[in-house]
Chains A and B, each alone.
Chain A
Amino acid sequence: MNWLKHMFSRRKLYGELSEEIREHLGEMIDEMVASGMSREDATHAARRQFGNVMLAEGNSRDVWRWAPIEDFLLDVRYGARMLRKNPGFTAVAIVTLALGVAVNSTVFSAVNGWMLRGPRIKDPARVVVIVTTDPRREGWGWDRQPVSAFDFVAWREQSRSFGDMAASEWGDFALAGEGEPERLTGIRVSSNYFDVLGVSAALGRTFLSREDQSGRNQVVILSHGLWARRFGSNPKAIGQVVRLDGEGYTVVGVMSSGYRLGPRGAPQLWTPLVFPPESVRPSAREDRTLEVMARLKPGISVETARAEMEVLARRSEQTYLGTSKGWSASAMSIQHYIADEFGVGMRLQMGVVLVVLLIACVNIASLQLVRGAVRQREFAVRVALGAGRLRLVRQLLVESLLIALAAGGLGLLLAWWGVDLFRRGLTSVADNSLIAREVTIDQNVIIYTLCLSALAAILFGLAPAFHQTAVDLHSTLKEGGRTSSESKARYRTQRVLVTAEIALALVLLIAAGVFVQEILDRIHAGFGIDSNHVLTANISLSRAGRKGPSQQVAFFQEAIQRLEATPGVIAAGATSTLPLGDDERVVTFSIEGRPALSRTERARTDYYAISPDYLRTLGIPLIRGRNILSSDSAPAPPVALVNREFVRRCFPNEEAIGRRIRLDASGLDRPDWSEIVGVVGDVRDSFEGRKYVPQAYEPYPQKPTSGMTLVVRTGSDPGAFAPMLRRAVWSVDKDQPITAVQTMNQVIAQSRAGMRVLNILIGTFAGLGLVLAAVGVFGVMAYTVAQRTHEIGIRMALGARRGDVLRMVVKKGMVLGAVGIGSGLALAAPLVWLKLGLVNDELLPFDQRGPVFLAAVFVIWLAAFLASYIPARRATKVDPMVALHHE
């Protein structure tokens, strides 16, 4: 408190101190004069005897101060004043850093939302996900396959590591009743699901232990959002009956709005998961559809649980020989499971934006070095007045921190906008809108941004601070501010900075190039369909009256007929899976006459159940044989079409038409052999995939499903046809929900929207980084050459030719460029092997990626050349006499 008291009387204290010291000196001088000295000599003698007046006064003042804090505040005030006095430098530094910080915050907000923000469940560290692992180890996700109902039941009983084990399965539900019929995404869960997760309902209850048995399962828990939307947040919703898929379900609970398990979007409702008897037979061991979670018993580690799961899987394999050969099981923590889903793509993004930030830091560091030359006198004066070196370093770091703070604030504003863009990009894909919601600027992001800014300040501030404060007092003050005698150390630092900048820019360019190349490759490849003038719509039959296969077939036949009868329609059809729109459906198959294999050993193909006119509607060409006809109905002999890739892989030197295959679709254990009647063109089933995969088509009346996508080829704008499509479907059944009405071109655009967003982001970031790097390299080079104007003048005055001088300067720049490119290539080397998570595992081979590396090197090389050539040319144009007089 004394300190506080002194703070207010400080002005008086300091005044008295100054006066006292003045009087002291005066008295000394008077005495010396009295003893016969001249007044001038006496003044000098007195000063010598007294010592450094400023220091004495400063030290005396320090006694009254709370030094660390007050010095800091002083530094802040002084720093702010210096920054205000140099608005150009300040603005450039702040904006540069803000851009660097903003891109980092934007990407981090996604990482934060998807990977860091844990599930809102009780003690998530103790919850593990039980997965099965594919022995073929093909593709991403082989080590996290779902679990079959059969295995789940067995393992839940046998395992000893877990308190309890719960299963869940995503599903679609049609909600009918008041208002428009609606398709909802929900999860069917075992009755202990919420107990395992340790969450309870916000309203009502979660499921009771026997509610996952057939007959008792007509209960539903609503998400907070659905409750608010459909029931106006009315608590009386509990106990009401809603119609799901045509059956009455009693609402028993509402989850809280904060409940969240993973980033993959939020389910809108939960119903009990009932295992039909056939699903728990050994023959169904390979129908892996369940996501299984379990809570570890106290004292059991994830590793122990994993080991136990492996043992259990081996035991199952031995008990049920011939099923799931080689498949194993594993356990991983739920956090790990979630974080990995966004793995590689996000890591690449983080890498790219960090490089951008580094470039921004290097730029500011070089700017500060340049400015340091100007400020030499300021520091020399301060040292002369008794300031210690550390004090000056601290002062400069405080200035850097001020810049960083301002940049952090501005960066956050920019990031706010960036996150908005990011979200809007994601939301254009319906499936992703739920993911997009998780990308927000929360306190984590704010803290991250500020820490990152502070870190950047130290990064770009420390080296210049040490260089600038290494003041050669004598020469700096004596030479009257001429800074030709600049320290070698600063030159060295400048060279290092330029080299670093070139290297970073190269890495960025290569990363962006590789990525853009992958995407261009996929766009150019085409999709194998004619997507213009096609409208699509998703139909999921849900009414109780349409459960039987024959009713389903009848519905779609009628709908297609009504569509064909609508004016403006050229062709109409339906498919069980829309290429590029839905996730591809992959089934195993056998070929007649070849050795029988167990299901896991069989080859795989994309599978489509289609209506006769589907191929014509999408413009998929028939190569050989015949199309599927309307006569290929349920009672007729089963037939199939295959694509060229199928033929290439399975019948390389044989005629495929006439052979019979058996497709293990629709969960039937022993489906019939189908005769191949035609070969059709290849269709790309997803945007990411590069290669064509085998595809097989069967007439849907022979393999009916409840969910189909209608496709309509129209003579005019397909988008405008949407109301007619709805009317046609509703004329068959007015309660039938219709979802995802979009043109085929929209479907394609969305299929690459994820990549497009990533593409735009990485492109923007890389472009930003490149511009920053170019400005930085050019600035430093230009400055270095300008510093040599004097020297160049002398050389030219002594007879050096312009070409020689030019060559000399450019050579120096090119050496830096070469070193930078070398280190950049070393840094970028891992990009050769980079696998983008989104791109499955199919990347362009390296010999196609080489040109990207070459092009990037060339661009950087050119930039380095220009950055030294242009200033050098300018310098040599100067009249030697002017250059010599320059300083």
Chain B
Amino acid sequence: MTKEREQRDLFPGALEMMILRTLKRRPLHGYALAQHIKRTSDDLLQIEEGSLYPALQRLLKEELVKAEWGVSSTNRRVRIYRLTKAGAKHLEHEVSRFERMLEGVTRVLAPGES
């Protein structure tokens, strides 16, 4: 179980951020969302698809995304998630926070310079 958890959460909020970023481009349903994240990350991130759903529920609860039932390209009844205004704002905020953090980490990790 501990192994599972390691894979699921890169760091708290990472998955949520990626979901929001993906949805910003266009609304998607769960399966497509998972495929997209996998594809764009070139399978570098081992994400259990199941872990997507608790994250999606959290976002729904905080009203950063909203969902409505629709029909997928494969003709399945699916729930399509769409970014809300609050979600877009949250994403912006989170991304800038993440970038700052990344920059800091990179600087410390960068060899030679000080």
Contact = CB atoms under 8 A, between A and B. Distances in A.
Contact of A57 (B48, B53, B76): B53
B50 A56 contact: yes
Determine chain B's interface SS by DSSP, over half rule.
helix
27 contacts: A6-B61, A16-B69, A16-B79, A17-B57, A20-B53, A21-B53, A23-B76, A23-B77, A24-B30, A24-B34, A24-B49, A27-B76, A28-B31, A30-B74, A49-B48, A50-B48, A51-B50, A51-B51, A53-B50, A56-B53, A56-B54, A57-B53, A60-B57, A63-B54, A63-B57, A63-B61, A388-B1
Contacts of B79: 16, 20
A783 interface: no
Contacts of A30: 74
A62 interface: yes
Interface string B67-107: 00100101011110000000000000000000000000000
A27 B77 CA distance: 11
A50 B61 contact: no
B76 A26 contact: yes
A880 B31 CA distance: 61
A53 B48 CA distance: 10
A21 B53 CA distance: 8
A51 B76 contact: no
Given A27-B74, A30-B74, A63-B58, A17 B53 contact: yes
A219 B74 CA distance: 104
B53 A64 contact: no
A55 interface: yes
B57 A56 contact: no
A302 B67 CA distance: 73
B36 to A, nearest CB: 13
A8 B17 CA distance: 29
A19 B74 CA distance: 16
Nearest to B69: A16
Which 9 residue pairs across A and B have the least CB separation, nearest first? A56-B50, A51-B48, A51-B50, A63-B57, A59-B54, A60-B53, A27-B31, A60-B57, A60-B54
B54 A62 contact: yes
A631 interface: no
A566 interface: no
B4 interface: yes
Contacts of B57: 17, 60-61, 63-64
Nearest to B7: A51
Nearest to A386: B1
A21 to B, nearest CB: 6
A283 interface: no
Contacts of A52: 4, 50
Given A27-B74, A27-B76, A51 B4 contact: yes
Contacts of B74: 27, 30
Contacts of B49: 24, 28, 49-51
A2 B53 CA distance: 20
Given A20-B78, A23-B76, A28-B31, A64 B61 contact: yes
A385 to B, nearest CB: 12
A53 B4 CA distance: 13
Nearest to B63: A2
B51 to A, nearest CB: 6
B28 interface: no
B56 to A, nearest CB: 7
A32 B58 CA distance: 29
B50 A50 contact: yes
A395 B68 CA distance: 37
Contacts of A56: 48, 50-51, 53-54
Interface string A23-61: 110111010000000000000000001111101110111
A74 B79 CA distance: 29
A16 B69 CA distance: 9
Contacts of A64: 57, 61
Contacts of B61: 2, 6, 63-64
Contacts of A62: 54
A61 to B, nearest CB: 8
Given A16-B79, A23-B30, A28-B31, 10 more contacts: A23-B31, A23-B76, A26-B76, A27-B76, A50-B50, A56-B48, A59-B51, A60-B57, A62-B54, A64-B57
